[in-house]
Amino acid sequence: MSIKVGIVGYGTIGKRVADGVAASPGMEVAGVTGRRYACKMDIARQRGYPVYVAPDGASEFQDRGFEVGGTMEDLCEEADIIVDATPSKVPAQNMPLYEAKGVKAIVQGGEDHALTGFSFSSLANYEEALNREHARVVSCNTTGLSRLISTLDGAYGVENVFVTLIRRAADPKESKKGPINAVKPVMGVSHHGPDVMTVMPHINIYSMAVAVPHTLSHVHTLRVRLETPPTKRELVELFDSTPRIVLRKGKEGFSDTAQIAEYYRDFRPRYDMPELFIWDEPLDVVDNYAYIMANVHQESIVVPENIDCIKAMCGMETDKMKAIYETDKALGIAKDKRCYT
Amino acid sequence: MSIKVGIVGYGTIGKRVADGVAASPGMEVAGVTGRRYACKMDIARQRGYPVYVAPDGASEFQDRGFEVGGTMEDLCEEADIIVDATPSKVPAQNMPLYEAKGVKAIVQGGEDHALTGFSFSSLANYEEALNREHARVVSCNTTGLSRLISTLDGAYGVENVFVTLIRRAADPKESKKGPINAVKPVMGVSHHGPDVMTVMPHINIYSMAVAVPHTLSHVHTLRVRLETPPTKRELVELFDSTPRIVLRKGKEGFSDTAQIAEYYRDFRPRYDMPELFIWDEPLDVVDNYAYIMANVHQESIVVPENIDCIKAMCGMETDKMKAIYETDKALGIAKDKRCYT
């Protein structure tokens, strides 16, 4: 029996999760929601995803030859689990419907932790998601940080973390947001540190953030105090053997975020990079501190975690590393199998 | 017998032409050249393109497990035709080698017309390329303009053209070029108008150009005086029935260059768009003038013309529209077959 996944909100995250579901054995896309016709819905149709539409929008789709599966309410009947990737604050309005329909629901990191009472990141807390009704997959930045910090914590013990986030101003498709010629600080502590603590409450972390005129990715600089610090070589080996973390040299064609995107344009759909990318050259260990610079592809990094979360909540796989391995294989991002033990 | 195509210069254009050759029946990639190892060469290897390297760079590739086919000189022996996509001015240095080896050669639009004495754009002058030894495929902007103006000229007679080019500052992978916060005029007439006249000497065209802080595409605005002006509806029908021109509405999800790129990210490798894109809403006809706004994807628009040019120079196909149709089918950009009559 295949798990039927409904995708509510066919935008940046929703369309990628739909493709991830379609690629994953044991689950299928029950449908995606659309409000008004736009060219992106042609993509959904080409991929065979049933489209569910609000009643006042149905004729617009039907006029263009779409077969409309029904409304969002119908999709909740059809699906075993909903991945809600609508704009921030909309999932809170949708949640009563999911509860009324008795359908499981995943929301994204733009929502408050309190909406589901549980925040998910695979490497950190996969098992806690097993058979849950509701979960929140944390945001792109928090996903990157959770992967990195849980890995370091397991290997060397993390005493504290200070991270600076150099955030992209907007996603590539957006032209109405900014800044376009300013560096814009978050005034006060950024929410990212506290957000990591929704996943790993025992981590002592402080974060600051600025937004810069750039769309491709977020860049993190970290100073991590470790209980038993490794050498740089050991750190490189740790990252090389960890799923969803890629470590490469800038001088090999990854000297900036534009070059990273260019490399992935050559062989990944949408130049997606669900892996956390770590630059080799700036990586260093001095005294008890590891210094790390990382790149987070904001549009795709949460996709594997959404797929994992579906698996856990629907009880498809109880073993964390097996779940992660199967997801990574399906998404085409698997490393050597030894990395999953 | 398959035509063997050597790609000299595996950058923005070279890698795309290589993929286009590999996708085209009747031709194959004899090899691509590399100077130093960079991650992009892994892509060439994954795709099975033999790598040809300067003698001082060979060990670097061999150490990484590449099978090196030989030097660029060896590639010239191996190939029937070379597509030289090296940086501007390098092809002029390479041309004596091609002549000495007796291999046909195509250079790109960054070179002077005089280097080959013939400038190519499929819809405008395919037949003139038949069995030539050397040709220059005109640049991205000139390719877009040549498609558009030759189409208008054939249908309505072009009396004169004034075009303004709003150029992208740099390609997406480049971070050392600018402007990054300025609009930079070309001081004097831009080279684009005269360049169109290397393809169609009878066209009366004047061009101005500015560069803007943007990487995705060039945008053209045109005022074209026509001998027998059509209605807007007729103009839409003309573009809809012309190969390699796509006309869409901004309001359907193409409201700016970022949205165009986002749409093509969803289903084209590297979000390439070899078609000239024309926006519907700004399209207009007033008195004898057509007003047109178009989008040129600078990285991919010349790829179909390079493939066509190989076909013509190697005598693979004498019929222009058949050549264009087969190229478009291979590249996945074919329109309805009736557009090719």
Of B248, B258, B266, the CB nearest to A270: B266
- B315 CB burial (10 A radius; 0-12, 13-18, 19+): exposed
Can you read off the two tokens belonging to residue B292? 């047109």
Q: What was the pLDDT predicted at B106? A: 98
Give residues with Cβ within 8 angstroms of B234, minimum separation 6: none
C-beta separation of A119 from A198 below 8 A: yes
Please name the amino acid found at residue A97: L
Q: What is the C-alpha separation between B18 and B6, in angstroms, rounded?
A: 8
Whether A295 and A247 have beta carbons less than 8 Å apart is answered as no
| A140 given a catalytic annotation | yes
Q: Half-sphere exposure of residue A39, counting CA atoms within 13 Å on the CB side?
A: 18
From residue A148, give the alpha-carbon distance in Å to each of A37, A293, A332, B37.
40, 11, 21, 29
Q: Judge contact between B300 and B282, C-beta under 8 A.
A: no
Q: What region, left, alpha or beta, does residue A26 occupy, with left being phi > 0 and alpha being psi -120 to 50 degrees?
A: left
Query: What ipTM score was computed for the predicted complex, to two decimals?
Result: 0.89
| Residue from B36, B27, B23, B28 nearest B10 by CA | B36
Give me the half-sphere count of Cα atoms (radius 13 Å) on the Cβ side of residue B237: 6
Distances (CA, A) of B134 to A290, B112, B118: 57, 13, 7
What distance in Å separates the CA atoms of residue B319 and residue B106, rounded to the nearest whole number? 20
Give the phi and the psi of residue A186 in degrees, each rounded to 5: -75, 125
Cα distance between residue B74 and residue B97, in whole Å: 11
Q: How far apart are the first and last CA of chain A?
A: 28
State the count of interchain CB pairs (< 8 A) between A and B: 74
Q: Which residues of chain B register pLDDT less than 50? A: none
**Whole-number Å distance between alpha carbons of B14 and B33:** 9
Q: What is the DSSP letter of B126?
A: G
Alpha carbon of residue A89 to chain centroid = 18
Nearest Cα to B30, choosing from B8, B11, B60?
B8
Mutate to test the interface with B, among A39, A214, A257, A277 (most CBs of B within 10 A): A39
Helix, strand or coil, per DSSP, at residue B38:
coil
Of B140, B309, B314, B339, which residue is the catalytic one?
B140
Identify the residue among B13, B39, B183, B300 best suited for mutation to test binding to A, counting A beta carbons within 10 A and taking the highest.
B39
**Residue B55: what pLDDT?**
86
d(CA A340, CA A333): 12
SS3 content of chain A, % helix, strand, coil (to 5): 40, 25, 35
A181 touches chain B (CB under 8 A): yes
Question: What DSSP line would sit under A35-60, residue for residue?
Answer: SS--HHHHHHHHTT--EEE-GGGHHH
Q: Is B40 within 8 Å of A266 when comparing Cβ atoms?
A: yes
- What are the mean pLDDT values of chain A's consecutive 10-residue runs (341 residues total)? 96 98 98 94 96 91 93 97 97 98 98 98 98 98 98 98 96 93 91 97 97 96 98 98 98 96 96 98 97 98 98 98 98 97 90
What part of B 30-89 touches A (C-beta under 8 Å)?
37-40, 43, 46
**Distance (Å) of CA B122 to CA A44, B217, B224:** 34, 21, 21
Q: Helix (H, G, I), strand (E, B), or coil: what is residue A143? A: helix
Q: How many CB atoms lie within 10 A of CB B218?
A: 24
Omega of the bond leading into A269 within 30 degrees of 0 (cis) = no
CB of A119 closer than 8 Å to CB of A91: no
Distance separating alpha carbons of residues B151 and B276, to the nearest angstrom: 12
- A42: which residues sit within 8 A by CB, 6+ positions away? none
Q: Does A270 touch chain B (CB under 8 A)?
A: yes
Tell me whether residues B270 and A270 touch, CB distance under 8 A.
no
Minimal CA separation from B168 to chain A, in Å: 15
CB contact set of B105 (below 8 Å; sequence gap of 6+)? B81, B82, B83, B84, B91, B94, B95, B98, B116, B133, B134
Contacts with B, A 279-338, CB within 8 Å: none
Give me the domains of chain A, ranges plus CATH numbers: 3-138+302-340 (3.40.50.720), 140-296 (3.30.360.10)
Beta-strand ranges (E) seen in B237-326 are 245-248, 276-279, 284-286, 289-296
Sort out which chain B residues have CB atoms less than 8 A from A256's CB and list them: 175
For residue A199 the two structure tokens come to 């996943």
User: Does the beta-carbon distance from B173 to A258 stay under 8 Å?
Assistant: yes
Of B15, B255, B266, the CB nearest to A15: B266
Interchain pair A39, B254: CB under 8 A: yes
Partners of B90 in beta bridges: none
B97-122 core/surface letters (b: 16 or more CB in 10 A; e: else): ebeebebbbbbbbbbebebbebbbbb
Q: Is B25 helix (H, G, I), strand (E, B) or coil?
A: coil
What's the pLDDT score for residue B54?
87
The reported pTM is 0.93
